[in-house]
Amino acid sequence: MKLCPTCGNQWPDEQKFCPNDGSALKTAGTTDLVGSVIAGNYHIEKKLGEGGMGAVYLGQHVKMGRKSAIKVMTQSMANDPDAIARFNREATNAARINHPNVCAIYDFGETRDGLIYLAMEFIEGESLSDLLEREGALPPKRAASIFQQVGDALQAAHDLGIVHRDLKPDNIMLTKGRGGADVVKVVDFGIAKAVGGEEGQKVTKTGLVVGTPEYMSPEQLAGDKLDGRSDIYSLALVLYRMLTGTLPFQADSAQEVMIKRLTDEPVPLNAAGSGLTFPDQLQAVMDRALQRMPGERYGSAAEMARDVTQAVGDMADTAPAVDTEGATQIISATPSTGATVAATRVAGLGAPKPRARTPDTPAVAAAPPGPAKKKPVLAIAAAVAVLAVGGGTAAVMKISGGATRTPSVTPDTAQQRAASDPSQTQRPAAGRDLTQRRQTTDPQTTTIPPKDTTTARVEPLPERGIPVSVGDATDRLYAVLDHFSLAGNTPAPIASAAMDTALAYYNAPGIPAKARALAAYIVSQSEGALENKSEALRWARIAVDLDSSNKSYQANLSGLSRPPQ
């Protein structure tokens, strides 16, 4: 299909000019880039993967001969300022961190043809999550080596005032160095924020949070402003999983995980059933890093890495006997549909030494104290209890004052129009419809593409029923959109999970109109993938009502309104 850059409508490939306004049409997707040269520098050799926002290619610099992973936005997304801002933020955040354990950014920009691209290090390896799924718990010294490199990468980011905010095994890539040693590359700074800047101040300011709960800190669940100590909490959970093959808070639902995170003590290492005996010194490290209050944790990732190395030093380096089929209880909405860009190892890298740092120096300067509020433990526990009773389908949690309201379809003027037009209102049974659809869809019979460790991985969909931060709602929704196939064959389980998440954002109080429009657009895409055209069309209209300037939404509505050929 081709896209009109003026009106946003899509037309058949054989069409050269838009019938509406005469503009020259551009290719809507990025499937034709193989064999081309981007920005005069990168010869595209093959496609590595794709998502709703674009595709990732393997490219080679025409002069230097260096392999690179090239992210290219779809032309339709390139018309969206919010999508471009997220894309540029990933580039600028990661490019500032010059460290051997962080995936390097080489270049980014826009070509004369209007392609927005990002050239980054090509990593030939696998994610830590893939390694753990295959092998279970790791030998302690191997886990400590990986941990130290991740810690050093985070320290480099924290020294620049950048908080990753999404540290988990999926975002830790492993490649092999000399002698077969693991070399770490921390990836995906797409939702990272700079503490103290304008972006940092906008995050979670209304006290709502949504996301997968496994590796989130209590303050992130609470919707508070974050500093580097939130990453340290997540890093401790990654270490726990590497050592034991499981996580310290076990539950059958996302709501229970959150409740346990905020009310229970983590399961001690020696009680995790790994078959190993861990020293008291290592348990003390874990206890400190998993404190609920940030001020009681380690002040820096480097300090924690030093203590882990010392504690593991005298342990026998044998792998725990862990049943990988059932030991790890990860609560995810849907399988990941790809892999983070695969990377090249710089010759001669060993395990980086932690930087000397004063023990009590914060990893990143803490955000200035705001108005007094409920302690996160009490606030979230109470709200989660409400969620648990409600079933958790597309639920949203309000942390501080105010009740969850039924959302309007559009801003104030459109609310009145919606009230008189039932077709423009939120369907009250959306959650029940989704539940019924999931009950009649056998996930075992749905073909999900296998993980490809040489492709670009999209961020896993947020867990159903878990609240998110309003401040980064657009970022999170674009991450959900990454799961949609450009070819139009998005699997039903992914579409259902995406719809749950989008409805949660759409219904959340305080969500800006543009973010709500994006949520409506995702619901429309989901309904289309589930072959419910009438609902897809209705939600497409809602998206355009909320943000009439967005050409992607206009093109979607136009395509759905067109009579079948």
Q: Catalogue all structural domains in the chain, each as residue range(s) with its CATH number.
A: 31-121 (3.30.200.20), 124-187+214-252+265-323+339-360 (1.10.510.10), 412-561 (1.25.40)
Alpha-carbon span 413 to 336, nearest angstrom: 40
Look at 461 and 297; give whichever has higher pLDDT: 297
pLDDT at position 108 is: 87
pLDDT tens digits, 510-543? 888 999 999 999 999 999 888 888 999 999 999 9
Of 40-49, 308-317, 405-414, 524-533, minimum mean pLDDT range: 405-414
Of 11-20, 27-36, 323-332, minimum mean pLDDT range: 323-332
User: What confidence tier does 444 reach under pLDDT thresholds 50, 70, 90?
Assistant: very low
Across residues 413-420, what is the average pLDDT? 38
Q: Pick from 463, 481, 470: which is nearest to 524 by CA?
A: 481
pLDDT at position 405 is: 31
Across residues 139-165, what is the average pLDDT? 95
pLDDT at position 52 is: 63
Across residues 487-503, what is the average pLDDT? 78
Of 3-7, 137-141, 335-339, minimum mean pLDDT range: 335-339
Alpha-carbon span 125 to 454, nearest angstrom: 7
pLDDT at position 449 is: 33
Give the pTM.
0.57
pLDDT at position 391 is: 34
Look at 447 and 71; give whichever has higher pLDDT: 71
**Of the residues 82, 152, 159, 166, which is catalytic?**
166
Q: What percent of the chain has pLDDT over 70?
A: 62
Across residues 236-249, what is the average pLDDT? 95
Our answer to whether residue 224 is catalytic in this structure is no
Alpha-carbon span 164 to 159, nearest angstrom: 12
| Best mean pLDDT range from 8-12, 176-180, 374-378, 413-417 | 176-180
Q: Residue 1 burial by CB count (10 A; 0-12/13-18/19+): exposed, middle or buried?
A: middle
pLDDT at position 254 is: 66
pLDDT tens digits, 450-471? 333 333 344 444 444 444 555 6
User: What confidence tier does 197 reach under pLDDT thresholds 50, 70, 90?
Assistant: very low
- What crossing angle do the helices spanning 254-263 and 376-390 adopt, rounded to 10°? 160
Helix segments in 207-293, DSSP class H: 218-222, 228-244, 254-263, 280-289
Instruction: Please count the residues of the chain.
Output: 565
pLDDT at position 279 is: 95
Residues 6+ apart with CB under 8 A from 359: 298, 299, 300, 303
| DSSP element (H, E) containing 132 | helix 128-135
Of 125-129, 305-309, 371-375, 392-396, minimum mean pLDDT range: 392-396
Look up residue 488 and give its amino acid.
Answer: G
Q: Residue 85 burial by CB count (10 A; 0-12/13-18/19+): exposed, middle or buried?
A: middle
Phi-psi region of 188 (alpha: psi -120 to 50; beta: other; left: phi over 0): left
Q: What is the DSSP letter of 24?
A: B
Look at 434 and 421; give whichever has higher pLDDT: 421
